[in-house]
Structure 1
């Protein structure tokens, strides 16, 4: 009789014990004294740092573009449309709050990525337009800026790859215990990725041929 009661007790309390274990696991995710704080995956700092690198490189590229377009504006006879395209892309980039917080806003992230691609295309078109202007082809500063932009394209491509790799690890972690529980509790979403279909192999500096610079600058 006693053995039967013990067996019945074990069966009926087993679901309760599982529930207690689950609750304990959830509370284990909350730091002592920081209840309600989301515990990010271990590579969260790496993810933010890699995106910061991408944004910094894009910011530096924008300064190069500003210098390039300033020279082109003074020398191009028929470059109004390409200069307008560059200005439009720059305006779209400025409209996005480009901070590491972009990783938490997939829509703003996509807008930023598209705007940067449009700027790349606009600068490429400007470069092609400049080929027909002898004064620009012989301008040492203009040519140096073109070369710098090609180098920056390689650096940006490498930085984007590092961010994508960090984001993929982060996203995979969200589906493993115990982060999968925390992600559901705090509605944590996967981080967006850069979509690069024409990325040049990183680490290979381009040969600066201005007739082919459209491809060299693509990021």
Structure 2
């Protein structure tokens, strides 16, 4: 009699093990997508930092030619200092307030770059400088990299959000506290375009 009772638990144990493997598979899928979106966010941050450094170098190059345009250089230095103080990391992209503040700082830097390029128009010797031209080529490349990095981040977030809303992933996501993540806002219609660079 005891043997038949023991045999009854075997199918139940097999079912529990199979369900456990299925749940682990769904959980691992969510983990992989979460890591992918964090890596994409890190790449966006990396490209923004590169742009900030290039703008600072460009500002220093232009400053030698135009000492009387002090306000733009002061603003660029102040913006760079604020960005350095933010110490943003990929996890901060999940905090709406930090995410918005970071986007606003990047929008401000882009505006300052446009103003800097307007100043450059008054200095033909500067536009002919190989240092200036090299910085502008690097800056244009960085703007393109930013667009690519942002698109990859948007795609990673789309895939993550879609997956955790689908059955059966939605149940695993709720159990482990995974929530949909926010995308970049598009309150600037020119956000994906590199600044116009003319020599």
Say yes or no: TM over 0.5: yes
Separation (CA, whole Å) in 2 of partners of 1:26 and 1:180: 16
- Counterpart in 2 of 1:112? 102
Q: Is the 8 A contact 1:171 1:190 kept in 2?
A: yes
Q: Distance in 2 between matches of 1:79 and 1:175?
A: 52
Deviation of the 1:209 alpha carbon? 1.9
What is aligned with 1:85?
75
Higher RCO (CA 8 Å, separation ≥ 6 residues): 2
Could you say if the C-alpha distance between residues 105 and 82 of structure 1 is closer, same or farther in structure 2, counting changes exceeding 3 Å? same
Output the CA distance in 2 between the equivalents of 1:206 and 1:111. Answer: 21
In structure 2, how many angstroms separate the alpha carbons of the residues matched to 1:113 and 1:199? 10
Q: Which has the larger radius of gyration?
A: 1
Which residue of structure 1 lines up, in the alignment, with residue 121 of structure 2?
131
Q: Show structure 1 runs of 5+ residues with no match.
A: 1-24, 32-36, 211-219
Q: Does residue 198 of structure 1 match 2:190?
A: yes
Task: Say which SS state the counterpart of residue 95 (structure 1) adopts.
Answer: helix
What's the TM-score once normalised by structure 2's chain length? 0.75
Determine if contact 2:54/2:135 at 8 Å carries over to the other structure: yes
Other structure's SS at 1:174 match: helix
How many residue pairs are counted as aligned between the two chains? Answer: 180
Instruction: Please give the TM-score of this superposition, normalised by the length of structure 1.
Output: 0.69
Runs of 4+ residues over 6 Å off in structure 1: 25-28
Deviation of the 1:30 alpha carbon: 6.6
Matches of 2:161 and 2:152 in 1, distance apart?
14
Where structure 2 has 5 or more consecutive residues not aligned to the other structure, the ranges are 1-18
**Structure that is richer in helix per residue:** 2
Distance 1:183 1:96 in 2: 30
